Amino acid sequence: MSILRRVTRASLAALTLPAALLALWWILTADSESYYLPPLSDILAAVDDVWLRSGRLSADVLPSLLRLLGGFLLAVALGVTLGIAIGSSRRLRAFCEPVLEFLRAIPPPVLVPVLMLFAGIGDTMKVLVIVSGCVWPILLNTVEGVRAVDEVLVETARCYGLRGPSRLWHLVVRSASPQIVTGLRQGLSIGIILMVISEMFAASNGLGFSIIQFQRTFAVTEMWTGILLLGLLGFLLAMLMRLFERRALNWYFGLRQAQRGGSR
C-alpha cells in the first residue's frame, strides 16, 4: 500500500509540472496570430509531415548522428590514450600543461572556419570539429583521474606483480573511470553543440542545416519542429549517457555507498 502511494506520489511529482507547462503552451498559443509563435497544435501536427514522411529522418538526422558518433568515439580514443600517457608521468604532465590550458580555453566553435580550410565542408570537417571540441574535457578529466590513483592500490598492484596491459586496465583505467565518465558526459554535450554549429555554418544536409534552412525560408512552424526535435535528441543522448554511467560505474556507486556506511 505504502509502496503504491510512494510510486503515485513520485510519478505525480515527475509529471505535473511538464504537463502543466505543455498545457500552458498549448492554451496560450491556441489562437496565436504571432508570426514567431505558431500554435503548439500546428507544430505537433507538422512533425509528421516535416520529419517522418519526407524522409528527412534518414536524409538529415541520421548523417548528423553518425558524424556525432564518429567524432565522439575518435575523441574518446584520443582523449583517454593521451590522458593516460600524460597522467602517468609527472614530467610529461608539467611539459604539456600550459599548452593544454591554452588549447582547451579556445572556444571550440571558432575551429569550424579553421578546419574548413583543411578539410573543406564535407563530413571530414564536421567530424574533425567534433573531435577537436570533445577531446579536451575527456583528456583533462582522464589526466586528473590517472593522477589521483590511490597510492595503496598502486603499491598493492606492484606487490602482486601486476604490470603491462592488465595493470593499465585493472588498475589505472578502473581507478580513473569515474573521472573519465565525467569527461565523456561533458564531451558529449559539447559534441552535440558542435554537430549543430558545423552544420549551420556550412553543410548540405543534417539536422542543424535543416533548421537553419527553415529559418532562412521563414518556415517558422517547420523551424519549431526542428527545435523540438533537437531538444529531444539532446535529452535522449543525455539519458543514454546516464544509463551507460550507471552500468559502467555500478561498482563505484556501491563502493561510495559502503564507505558512507549507510549514512544515506
Partner 1 sequence: MTSPSTLAAPTRRSRAGRLAGGNALLGVLGFATFLALLEAVPRAGLVSPDYLPPLSRVGGALADLAGEAAFWTALGDTVRGWFLGLAIAVALGVTVGFVIGTVPVLREFTASTIEFLRPIPSVALIPLAVLVFGTELRSVLLLVVYASFWQVLVQVLYGVRDVDPVASETARTFGLSRWARVRHVTWPTALPYVLTGVRLAAAVALILAITAELVIGAPGLGNEIGIAQSGGAVARMYALVVVTGLLGVAVNVLARRLERWLLSWHPSLRREVVS
Total residues interacting with partner 1, rule: CB under 8 A: 56
Q: Does 114 bind partner 1 (CB under 8 A)?
A: yes
Contact criterion met (CB below 8 Å) for 132 and 115: yes
Under the phi-then-psi rule, with left for phi > 0, alpha for psi from -120 to 50, and beta for the rest, what region is 108? Answer: alpha
* DSSP annotation of 261: T
CA distance 27 to 93: 57
CA distance 18 to 256: 33
* CB 189, min distance to partner 1, A: 7
Q: Does 227 bind partner 1 (CB under 8 A)?
A: yes
Q: Which is nearer to partner 1, 123 or 199 (CB)?
A: 199
Q: Does 14 bind partner 1 (CB under 8 A)?
A: yes
Q: Does 223 bind partner 1 (CB under 8 A)?
A: yes
Stretch that binds partner 1, among 52-60, 88-96, 149-157, 252-260 (CB under 8 A): 88-96
Q: Does 151 bind partner 1 (CB under 8 A)?
A: no
Contact residues for 52 (Cβ-Cβ < 8 A; gap 6+):
none
Q: Which is nearer to partner 1, 3 or 159 (CB)?
A: 3
CA neighbor of 191 nearest in space, from 139, 140, 137: 137
Which helix (H) or strand (E) segment holds residue 116: the answer is: helix 111-119
Positions in 229-258 near partner 1 (CB under 8 A): 230-231, 234-235, 237-238
* CB 170, min distance to partner 1, A: 30
Q: How many CB atoms lie within 10 A of CB 79?
A: 25
Q: Does 116 bind partner 1 (CB under 8 A)?
A: yes
* CB 92, min distance to partner 1, A: 9
Q: Does 212 bind partner 1 (CB under 8 A)?
A: yes
Q: Which is nearer to partner 1, 35 or 160 (CB)?
A: 35
Q: Is the dihedral of CA 178, 180, 186, 189 positive or negative?
A: negative
Three cell numbers written together for 210? 535543416
The one among 51, 72, 209, 214 contacting partner 1 by CB under 8 A: 214
CA distance 187 to 170: 24
Which helix (H) or strand (E) segment holds residue 96: the answer is: helix 90-105
CA distance 133 to 120: 18
Stretch that binds partner 1, among 59-67, 156-164, 174-182, 189-197 (CB under 8 A): 189-197
Stretch that binds partner 1, among 16-24, 75-83, 150-158, 175-183 (CB under 8 A): 16-24
HSE-CB for 72 with a 13 A CA cutoff = 22
Residues at the contact surface with partner 1, assessed by CB under 8 A: 13-18, 21, 36, 90-91, 94-99, 101-114, 116-118, 189, 192-193, 196-197, 200-201, 208, 211-212, 214-215, 218, 220, 223, 226-227, 230-231, 234-235, 237-238
